[in-house]
Amino acid sequence: MKILNRIAIITLFPFFLTSCFGDKNTVVGQELGDSSFVNTNFSGNKKDFAALPKNMCEFISESNVKNLYPDATKVLFDDGKTFMTKSCRFLVYMGDDEYNYLNGTIIAVEEKLAEGEDWKETWELKKKMSKSSSFVSDLGQAAIWIDKKRELSVKLEGYMITITVPGSPFNEQEIAKKRDYKKIAVEIAKNTGLF
């Protein structure tokens, strides 16, 4: 019986920690209908989803990433051949050690809404589901920044791009640099040339 109690405690402890300190928020009982986050100045995509290559690395500028990470020694790109989606993984090296890098990604996902579903409600729910999220103005049709994930999602016509900014929540040296990941994500997004 003691073993069963210990197993139950060990199993439930991480759940309670995640519930208390996690980034998820409940959307039950929250009002919907706010569309103030929609970018009314959006003039359209520069590329449709079908025209995007599987290798999204061409939309990330090495020199731009190096400017955003001035202490980087080099930036390497994974051309996305190993992924099923239109994506790019890029590594920002912080020294000569082959394992001293920060990992970032850009992914394009085609938007598929159910009949009668409105993208504005979907994005409003997406924002409300995370405690650390905020809307970002003047990017695409709408944009959401999720601070805990270092993730920027930008809604375009027919698809969205999600940029996960290179960083490390556990590397003390990286944390000490106090980088503005949101600013970095916005700069990377603006320099993609997709909107």
Look at residue 74 in the predicted model and tell me its pLDDT: 92
Q: Which two tokens stand for residue 85?
A: 């989606």
Closest CA to 83 of 100, 50, 108: 108
Cβ–Cβ < 8 Å for 132, 191: no
DSSP state of 107: E
Look at residue 191 in the predicted model and tell me its pLDDT: 93
DSSP state of 114: P
User: Would you say residue 156 has pLDDT above 70?
Assistant: yes
Give percent of the chain with pLDDT exceeding 90: 48
User: Would you say residue 88 has pLDDT above 70?
Assistant: yes
Look at residue 162 in the predicted model and tell me its pLDDT: 96
Rg (CA), the chain: 19
pTM above 0.85, yes or no: no
Instruction: Tally helices (H) and strands (E) across the chain.
Output: 5, 7
Cβ–Cβ < 8 Å for 105, 112: no
User: Would you say residue 125 has pLDDT above 90?
Assistant: no
Give residue-wise pLDDT tens across range 31-68. 666 778 899 999 989 999 999 998 899 999 999 999 99
Look at residue 102 in the predicted model and tell me its pLDDT: 93
Q: Which amino acid is at 85?
A: T
Cβ–Cβ < 8 Å for 181, 147: yes
Give residue-wise pLDDT tens across range 92-110. 999 888 888 999 999 999 9
Element (H, E) at 109: strand 101-110
Which are the contacts of 71, defined by CB distance < 8 A and separation ≥ 6?
A: 94, 177
User: Would you say residue 154 has pLDDT above 50?
Assistant: yes
